[in-house]
Structure 1
Amino acid sequence: MDTQELLNHYQTGKRDFSGIYLSDTDLSGANLTRANLSGANLSNTDLSSANLSRANLTCANLSGANLWDTDLSAANLSGADLSDTDLSGSNLRSANLCDADLSDTDLSGADLFVSYLSGARLCGANLSGANLCRADFSDTDLSGADLSKLIRS
């Protein structure tokens, strides 16, 4: 399935795209609210300014993806590979990022209000200027992360 087929199926009401392979594609600005993309390979995909709110992205491969200014509010990203991604300015409010790999990820200016990052790996991540208010960082690896200019209230 290519990107246009995915978007056409989504328009007709289909929401289950689990295990789909769409690496190195352009889905910028796409509306995939509540889509099931669990186990999908979206590595190096451009999802900038896309709407993935309430999407299921458990165990998805998003490594190297462009998720700049993307709406991932209340999305389930548990166990996802988000290493080396650009999540700067993204909305991750109430997102589930438990056990996700966010190593070397740019989260500068991201909104992580009430997000769940228990067990996540944020080694070398850029969290400068991010909103971490009420986020759960229990058992999270933050070694080498940039925690400057955080919004905590």
Structure 2
Amino acid sequence: MNDLDRCYRLLGLEPGASLEEVNQAYKDLAFIWHPDRIPQDNLRLHQKAQDKLKEINHARDRLREVKTRDRTPTAYTSQQRKPPQSSPPSYYQSSPPKKPPQSPPPPPPPSSYSQSSRHQSHYASYSQPKKTHGDLSGVDLRGANLQEKDFSYRNLSKANLSEANLSDAFLHKVNLQEADLSRANLFRANLLQANLSNANLRESNLIGADFSGADLSGADLSGAKVGAGDRIMVKLTGANLRGTIMPNGQIHQ
């Protein structure tokens, strides 16, 4: 069995599965096997979860690299055939331009998942200044379609995500302190241990979201959708709700 077939098998996929299927399979398995979900006193299971997460991380990165490389020629072929422009050269060109630029290009961004070509191209559409090392503090993504995106460990403090679609997004340990998430769609979003202190979640859709271990202190949830009738459909196990304004307007003590 070659490495690619093994990666598909680790994610429970058939060879040739799409990039979207790879991303979804990874998020499902990462949610199940993340060590933070395992009791710390169970050392054997905790170690097993760490090893399993390393395997699925490798499988995701390997398949994503192949899928992104397969898509790259159609996206950049026309740019590679054009003569050099005054703007800086793209870091995604498969070979350097034939004529060197007048001044040396800036160094490439750090090699990490947070700066992958998928995320670079996504945020470019919003014309935001480039952040480094996962820093998206203050970014304006109001009304953006971010469904199923992975923002794990990213810094989105004071970001404007009002009316954004974050359904099924993976937001594990993301920093959303003082962020504006008013009227945002967080349906089934994974916000394990996220920092949402003093965040604005007014009139947002929180049904199916998992806030286990999250910091919601001082957050405003006025008018937020949290369930149907008397049934609460938001997971708040271990969440910090000190000073949180609850959907009914009451302040949690």
TM-score range, shorter chain: 0.7 to 0.9
1:94 alignment partner in structure 2: 203
**Structure 1 CA distance, aligned partners of 2:118 and 2:157?**
18
2:241 alignment partner in structure 1: 127
Structure 1 stretches of at least 4 aligned residues deviating more than 2 Å after TM superposition: 1-8
- Superposed CA offset, 1:84-137 (max 9, x none): 0000000000010101000000000000000012211000101110111427xx
1:74 alignment partner in structure 2: 183
For the pair shown, the structure with the greater C-alpha radius of gyration is: 2
Aligned residues: 127
**Structure 1 CA distance, aligned partners of 2:122 and 2:147?**
15
**Structure 2 CA distance, aligned partners of 1:59 and 1:101?**
10
Q: Calculate the TM-score normalised by the size of structure 1.
A: 0.77
Q: Choose between structure 1 and 2: higher helix proportion.
A: 2
Change (3 A) 1:132 1:32: same
**Structure 2 CA distance, aligned partners of 1:72 and 1:124?**
21
Instruction: Please point out which of 163, 187, 210 is paired with 1:54.
Output: 163
> Unmatched 5+ residue regions in structure 1?
13-23, 136-149
Please tell me whether the aligned partners of residues 106 and 125 of structure 1 are also in contact (alpha carbons under 8 angstroms): yes
> Unmatched 5+ residue regions in structure 2?
1-116, 228-232
Residue 69 of structure 1: how far off its partner (Å): 0.3
Q: Calculate the TM-score normalised by the size of structure 2.
A: 0.47
Please tell me whether the aligned partners of residues 225 and 247 of structure 2 are also in contact (alpha carbons under 8 angstroms): no
Report the aligned-residue RMSD: 2.0
Percent identity over the alignment? 44
